[in-house]
Amino acid sequence: MAKQFHQVVWDDLLQDDCRQLLDLAVREDLGREHDWSTLSLIPESATGTVSIVARQEGVLAGSRIIDLMIDELELDIEVVYHLSDRSAMMPGDKLITLSGSVRDLLTTERIVLNFLGRLVGIATLTRTYVEKVQGTAAQVYDTRKTTPGWRRLEKYAVQCGGGTNHRTGLYEAVMLKDNHLAWYTQFTGKSAQLGDLVGIVRQFLIDQLGEANGSQRIIEIEVDRTEQLKQVLPSQPDIVLLDNMDCETLKKAVELRNELAPEVQLEASGGVNLQTIRGIAETGVERISVGALTHSAVNVDLGYDWG
């Protein structure tokens, strides 16, 4: 069975990231002062209700951030969820209702909408990509091309959209990319084959982590030519990243893998967009990594309506 990267879930680690981001968001909006616009007009005793409403079609993600915000900022607000994360939403759908202090509701409005709009945008774009590969063997993976500090949240949103998480950080798996290989050959003066490098890394992991843990770490190596793929397959890396190959070359790579090392997974990367992903998936690769899921997603428009 193919090894899989850790999949991000709504756990304590993610919630800790979120709390830190919430603190930064409050610092951005209030500094060490106050929301003078709200304080100047709204009595402290005023209460009210707002609904967060979808203005466009999408996939809900990150809704539980509101619970964390209420707790972290000690807000006088109660929340009712009408849809859960991963749910499809249509224009006009009421997603969440917030009731309580009008001052708190107004001061946190932009924070709420910024978080939700960003994460719903990622989940919605991911769902679009995933739908494009339905009926093939390929899964859609994210990358580390994320907003600094937001990685777990953004990868969680990818999950909500039906995508699959690639490694969360450098600590999780070995991924030998072109710059690793270029430095090794240029500055060590060694002419090791790609397959030899996989063996070197595998032994290093076992030496550092022990046999059980070291052998379970995913090893992925990047190639950009089928000649390199032929070199590396006998060493049995877990995944080979096929960088910027056209569909015909990808098909040849799949045939070569099937012949020499059928257990090795192939990941296509580069030149992937909504127009090309279906053709890439039909070549037979198991994984397609898409940086656009996180670096190019557009915030989804959400309303914050009284009543």
177 is an annotated ligand-binding site residue: yes
303 is an annotated ligand-binding site residue: no
Catalytic hit among 104, 154, 220, 222: 222
Active site residue 71: no
Give the DSSP letter string of 101-114.
EHHHHHHTHHHHHH
145 is an annotated ligand-binding site residue: yes
Closest CA to 8 of 138, 150, 116, 133: 150
Catalytic hit among 19, 110, 230, 252: 110
Count the neighbouring beta carbons within 10 Å of the beta carbon of residue 152: 22
Catalytic hit among 17, 35, 72, 243: 243
217 is an annotated ligand-binding site residue: no
291 is an annotated ligand-binding site residue: yes
143 is an annotated ligand-binding site residue: yes
222 is an annotated ligand-binding site residue: yes
| C-alpha 286, offset from chain centre | 18
Active site residue 222: yes
110 is an annotated ligand-binding site residue: yes
Q: 79: part of which helix (H) or strand (E)?
A: strand 77-81
Closest CA to 196 of 247, 232, 246: 232
144 is an annotated ligand-binding site residue: yes
Active site residue 145: yes
290 is an annotated ligand-binding site residue: yes
Active site residue 118: no
Tokens of 218: 């995913």
Active site residue 278: no
Catalytic hit among 19, 145, 252, 278: 145
Backbone angles phi, psi at 305, to 5 degrees: -110, 135
**Residue 15 to residue 161: CA distance in whole angstroms:** 19
Catalytic positions, please?
Answer: 110, 145, 177, 222, 243
Q: Annotated binding site, which residues?
A: 110, 143-145, 167, 177, 222, 243, 269-271, 290-292
List residues forming the annotated binding site for substrate. 110, 143-145, 167, 177, 222, 243, 269-271, 290-292
